[in-house]
Amino acid sequence: MRHTLPLAPQFYVTAPQPCPYLARRMERKLFTALSGDHAQTLNDSLSKQGFRRSQNVLYRPSCTECSACLSARIRVADFTPSKSQRRTLRRNRHLQREATSPWATEDQYALFRRYLDNRHADGGMADMDIFEFAAMIEETPIRSRVVEYTTPPGPPGPADHKRSLTAVCLTDVLDDGLSMVYSFYEPDLPAAGLGTYIILDHVALARETGLPYVYLGYWVPGSSKMGYKANFSALEVYHRGQWRDMTDPAAYEAETHPLSVDPIAEQVARINLPDGHPTKA
């Protein structure tokens, strides 16, 4: 189904498919192509309205009877790490960060495969080959970076202690923050808390660059896969058309209801274009 906006991108709705977060649910997405001279401003604007980027597409959940998925972001100025997060920072202080242009490498893909095979062997990306991986990293019409975290080489000796790639995050640079598109890391180091560390370091990176937010993707109440996002302070969620402080994760529920999601035409009509004017279906 297509929905046309005057002088704006066309929005489409995907066919229902099994939800990757909540059992026995079906997901549906509202999406539009991300291309042309105004791709960056469109991405900046729609990211503030709960959309996420995947290659050349911007999408937002639009499930028939479920509105559990909430876009989440950390307010950098007010963020304070917890005791366990400070321990995670100390455990990983040896890692070296390098942000580069979005270019896929064999080392990245090897780490990506180890991560998927160990953590998400039955997920939607499980069959992704190196060409599809390269497309995920490189096909971006906006300002994106690959942030690599490496373990420095050890002292000379009989063992081979080379610099090793430990974690990677594909990150978009928005006008108001850093958007963590996808991250993966060495699965054989569960005690290191690398997933948490990548987020903490992005908060530090946003502070360094003067950006107020770190966008984490979707938080889904009731999903064990997404529960970790609620552990970060100064967290905001995009709920009912506004960014709101998430004070109590238990206050959000994942129950379905036939009236919980507005018709697609109404959703599209409320999307704001980069110039700030509301769109019309």
CA distance 171 to 244: 23
Greater confidence, 19 or 259?
Answer: 19
What class is the 73-251 domain? Answer: alpha beta
Band of the pLDDT at 223, cuts 50, 70, 90? confident
Of 20-29, 88-97, 231-240, 249-258, the one with minimum mean pLDDT is 249-258
Write down the pTM of the prediction.
0.90
Summarize the confidence of residues 103-110 as an average pLDDT.
96
Q: Among the listed ranges 96-100, 189-193, 208-212, which one has the minimum average pLDDT value?
A: 189-193
Residue 135 has pLDDT above 80, yes or no: yes
pLDDT of residue 262: 81
Per residue in 144-187, pLDDT tens?
999 999 998 765 554 455 669 999 999 999 999 999 999 999 99
* Structural tokens at position 136: 């995920």
User: Which stretches of the chain are DSSP H helices?
Assistant: 39-47, 83-91, 106-119, 130-138, 194-209, 264-269
Answer yes or no: is pLDDT of 280 > 50.
no
Q: So what's the pLDDT on residue 6?
A: 42
Q: Decide: residue 33, CB within 10 A, 0-12 exposed, 13-18 middle, 19+ buried.
A: middle
Domain boundaries, the chain: 2-68+254-269, 73-251
pLDDT at 261: 77
**Confidence band (pLDDT; 50, 70, 90) for 253?**
confident
H/E element holding 259?
none
DSSP string covering 167-223: EEEEEEE-SSEEEEEEEEE-TT-GGG-HHHHHHHHHHHHHHHHT--EEEEEEE-TT-
pLDDT over 90 percentage in the chain: 64
Q: Whole-angstrom Cα distance, residue 19 to residue 25?
A: 5
Residues ≥6 apart with Cβ < 8 Å to 213? 73, 74, 75, 76, 174, 176, 177, 178, 206, 236
Report pLDDT for 158: 45
66-91 mean pLDDT: 96
